[in-house]
Amino acid sequence: MKNQEEVDLYRDTYVRYLGYANEVGEAFRSLVPKSIVWFSYAVSSGYVLADTVHKGTHVYKVDTSSQRNKNVLLSTSDTLIWQAFASIIVPGFTINRICAAVQFAQRKSTNVVLRKPWISTIVGLVSIPFIIHPIDHAVERTMDITYRKYTGYHPKAPLCGIKHE
């Protein structure tokens, strides 16, 4: 268990689930107006931007080195890229396709009960807990072998003597 100092508000608490609001929107896409789905993306995007600003502000406050501006840029860009893929792009696409596959199967089904429009919503909602951690880990590994390898930056590594949250 992490101690209180090491807890990242945006990744280690229930606040993390705000990043998945768009998956809920995608699950309900067949039942609600598109404006509700787009609103769910706005909530997720707000979460992503809040974490990005939080990480950048933290580095700006604690880094007193001559590389502070560069470190702020690296921290914010790393957070923005990670969050965009781990919270919005990959999970939103995944839930969208899961629900689309269910709807496709429903159209082929002759069972009246299985053709109910809310079935794809339930399957989408139930899928969310199963996709969260695998996607987070896959994005983390991908960032490690691409962007982070290229920039030499890693959010968990000390940067100019500062400790990251």
- Are the beta carbons of 125 and 24 closer than 8 angstroms? yes
* Burial call 80-93: b when 16+ CB within 10 Å, e when fewer: bbbbbbbbbebbbe
Angle at 162 between CA 159 and CA 165, to 5 degrees: 95
DSSP states along 30-78: TTS-HHHHHHHHHHHHHHHHHHHHHHHHHHHHH--STTHHHHHHHHHHH
In this prediction, residue 52 carries a pLDDT of 97
In this prediction, residue 161 carries a pLDDT of 47
Q: In whole angstroms, give the CA distance from residue 79 to residue 54.
A: 10
In this prediction, residue 164 carries a pLDDT of 47
Instruction: Divide the 165 residues of the chain into consecutive groups of 10 and give the mean pLDDT of each group.
Output: 67 88 95 96 97 95 92 96 96 96 92 87 96 95 96 80 48
* pLDDT tens digits, 105-142: 999 988 887 889 899 999 999 999 999 999 999 999 99
| Domain edges within the chain | 9-151
In this prediction, residue 103 carries a pLDDT of 94
- Are the beta carbons of 135 and 29 closer than 8 angstroms? no
Q: Is 163 helix (H, G, I), strand (E, B) or coil?
A: coil
Using alpha carbons, select from 71, 78, 55, 56 the residue that is nearest to residue 161: 71
In this prediction, residue 118 carries a pLDDT of 93
Q: Is 155 helix (H, G, I), strand (E, B) or coil?
A: coil
In this prediction, residue 6 carries a pLDDT of 74
In DSSP terms, 159 is beta-bridged to 162
